[in-house]
A and B are shown apart, each in its own frame.
Chain A
Amino acid sequence: MIRRLLWPSVVLALVLAYPLLFSTPFQQRLGALVLLYAIAASAWNIVGGYAGQVSVGHVVFFGCGAYAAMSAYAHFGLSPLVGIPMGILLSAGIAAVIGVPTLRLSGHYFSMATIAVAELARLIVTNTNYLGAAVGLSGPTVPRNVFDLSFISALPYYYLFLTVLALTLGITWWMANSRMGFYLRAIRDSERAARSLGAPASRTKLYAFMLSAGLTSVAGALYAMMFGFVDPESGLGILISVKILIMAALGGAGLLFGPLVGAAILVPLEEISNNLLGGKGAGLTFVLYGAIIVLIARFQPGGILTLIKRLWAKRRKMPAHAVAPEPSHAP
């Protein structure tokens, strides 16, 4: 028992102490960004990993949260925090509008609809003056009080994001082990079989999608608070969707900690390549992202964690007394 808890507690202690051990502003900011993207990718994981419905337009929910938080400040002078529930409601509503028709059809329709909605949202917002059009909306330049969540140091953001990430993972874990989680796994493995056994397939997928959308919008709101503004590119650009998706898939879609692992690998990679390559780096970073996605899809659709688990299980199999079963949810 103690041995089983040893490694998780070491990792947890490291995560908690990270911004104190690595205390330069760059390192603290990097840590906060890893956690932020881990929140978004974990939220994606609920619909993309557990339900097996690949959303390629998750940025629309991210943008909902970001724009709701900044609107609360810019239009009503309220704390950006007030925007969070609005963003969640709006996101869940949009998810229902996409999900109700497409989750009855094959998964391709769902993916195409999400990409179209994300583009639609970006075009509409870019042409809406109320939402700042192409310029975007800004948050408080000087914080009025702590509820504006506008800090110069990245340290408060780090612990805020860590708390939200813990909540997101808690919700995911609870969902995965509830009746809904079992339905989702059954549907992902064979929708026809699951339906014939009475699992309400379309409805369960829709709930997962709405839950995922709401949590993603929280990530968007936090992002806007940390950077103090949102514009169509940073809040609704297709590349945000790409990052969210690739982090979850690289780490391990459908695994609780997969998205966190993916974010911990890719966020530093992107920061470093942008620093090394400068302006040209942006293009090359995404060439690399594309290549990584293709390679995962081609060779290891289960992501890195599935690979590690499999290797681990093989090693553990050697002594006869510790036979570990293959991870049952590996595709």
Chain B
Amino acid sequence: MSTILVQVIVGGLLLGAVYALFSSGLTLVWGMMNIVNFAHGDFVMLGMYVAFVVYSLFGAGPLLGAPIAALVLATLGIIVYFGLIREIMKGPMLAQILGTFGLALLLRYSAFWWFGANFLTLPENIVGGTFDILGLRIQASRLLAGGVALLVTLGLHLLLTRTSLGSKMLAVAEDSTAAQLMGIRPDSMQAVAWAIAAGATGLAGALIATFFYIVPTVGETLGIVAFVTVSLGGFGSVPGALMAGLLIGVIESLSAYLIGAVYKDIVVYSLFLGFLWFRPQGLMGKT
């Protein structure tokens, strides 16, 4: 294999790790509450803008921007849960989808109104330039984003499977009435899930902002990427989201390199529809 192909694949893996990070938030909420957050991509968009604001106020990079973005978005997640989700969960399917879809519009066009439609970027060398590893040229910003995203996604998996908080959340997901009888409050656990899910998008947004363009409508594309990742990985499964995210990152990079950048989204969306036809339960999920 030529070096350039390896480089494309490595780049895809690094981007895919970030996809996995924000998609695991979507899969967590979906698996636990059977709610699909149509504003998920727009949460990532907000994380990017938070990183941008932190940079323009303090001149700070992702070291400060990422934790702040995660905190801001986690707070937003809790507000959204108590203000909207808790009520629409009891309503008909129409209300559930309309609610989060309306939220997506509200966030997207508030950003549009406030920041304008222009493409914003953080300075290219905010994390450090480009360097060589084993003959591959890799941007430090992408390496940082991919590495942190991978670690946090794995941490999230451990949190859900190895801690008592994780067990409580899974208990609520399995049967919230039974969990309540065991002294677990479904309400708090679901709020925690929303905080974690939204916090993950904030972190992912701040990481991706170091090398991605920032624009209000980016949430739409990223939201669909999250849908693809979750349906590929099987809903409710963080390891599934990780595998699927990495795979989609690689597929996207390869198709951009082999066919052309404008076709990469076409390839990913077609893949999604193909999966819905032939394997709706995802790569490793259950129906």
Contact = CB atoms under 8 A, between A and B. Distances in A.
Chains A and B are bound partners: yes
Interface stretch (B51-59, B65-73, B105-113, B197-205): B105-113
B263 interface: yes
Interface string B40-79: 0000000000000000000000000000000000000000
A124 interface: yes
Interface stretch (A4-12, A99-107, A138-146): A99-107
B102 A292 contact: yes
Nearest to B228: A116
B220 interface: yes
A48 to B, nearest CB: 7
B280 A119 contact: no
Given A101-B277, A112-B227, A119-B265, A249 B106 contact: no
B105 A111 contact: no
A321 interface: no
A139 to B, nearest CB: 27
Contact of A283 (B34, B112, B273): B112
Given A116-B224, A293-B105, A298 B88 contact: yes
B276 A52 contact: no
Nearest to B275: A101
A301 B94 contact: yes
Interface in B254-277: 262-263, 265-266, 269-270, 272-273, 276-277
Given A56-B97, A113-B273, A297-B98, A101 B38 contact: no
A286 B105 contact: yes
B102 A291 contact: yes
Interface in A110-164: 111-113, 115-117, 119-120, 123-124, 127
A52 B94 contact: yes
Contact of B220 (A101, A117, A119, A287): A119
Contacts of B113: 280, 283-284, 287
Contact of B94 (A54, A115, A295, A298): A54
Given A109-B280, A293-B101, A115 B224 contact: yes
A289 interface: yes
A280 B99 CA distance: 25
B109 A56 contact: no
Contacts of A283: 109, 112-113
Given A111-B36, A119-B265, A331 B94 contact: yes
Q: Which size bracket describes the interface of A in this complex?
A: 35 or more
B276 A127 contact: no
Max chain A C-beta neighbours (<10 A), residue from B87, B221, B273: B273
Q: Which size bracket describes the interface of B in this complex?
A: 35 or more
Contact of A123 (B36, B266, B273): B266
A294 interface: yes
A293 B87 CA distance: 14
B93 A290 contact: no
A242 interface: yes
A294 B103 contact: yes
Given A54-B94, A109-B231, A298-B84, A290 B103 contact: yes
Interface in A252-296: 253, 280, 283-284, 286-287, 289-296
B6 interface: no
Contacts of B92: 52, 188, 301, 331
Contacts of A56: 38, 97, 101
Contacts of B251: none
Interface in B140-174: none
Contact of A116 (B94, B107, B112, B269): B269
B99 A294 contact: yes
A49 B95 CA distance: 11
Max chain B C-beta neighbours (<10 A), residue from A188, A238, A294: A294
Max chain A C-beta neighbours (<10 A), residue from B38, B87, B97, B227: B97
B91 interface: yes
Interface in B228-287: 228, 231, 262-263, 265-266, 269-270, 272-273, 276-277, 280
Contacts of A104: 280
B273 A117 contact: yes
A108 interface: yes
Contacts of B110: 287, 290
Contacts of A242: 105
Contacts of B101: 56, 245, 293
B276 A109 contact: yes
Contact of A294 (B93, B106, B112): B106
Nearest to B260: A127
A283 B112 CA distance: 6
Max chain B C-beta neighbours (<10 A), residue from A48, A293, A295: A293
A128 to B, nearest CB: 11
A127 B259 CA distance: 13
Interface of B: 30, 34, 36, 38, 83-84, 87-88, 91-99, 101-110, 112-113, 220-221, 224, 227-228, 231, 262-263, 265-266, 269-270, 272-273, 276-277, 280
Interface of A: 48-49, 52, 54, 56, 97-98, 100-102, 104-109, 111-113, 115-117, 119-120, 123-124, 127, 188, 238, 242, 245-246, 249, 253, 280, 283-284, 286-287, 289-298, 301, 331
Given A112-B224, A290-B110, A297-B96, 11 more contacts: A52-B92, A52-B93, A54-B97, A97-B273, A101-B276, A101-B277, A116-B273, A290-B103, A297-B95, A298-B99, A331-B92
- 6 smallest CB-CB distances across A and B, nearest first, come from A293-B102, A290-B106, A290-B105, A297-B99, A301-B95, A283-B113
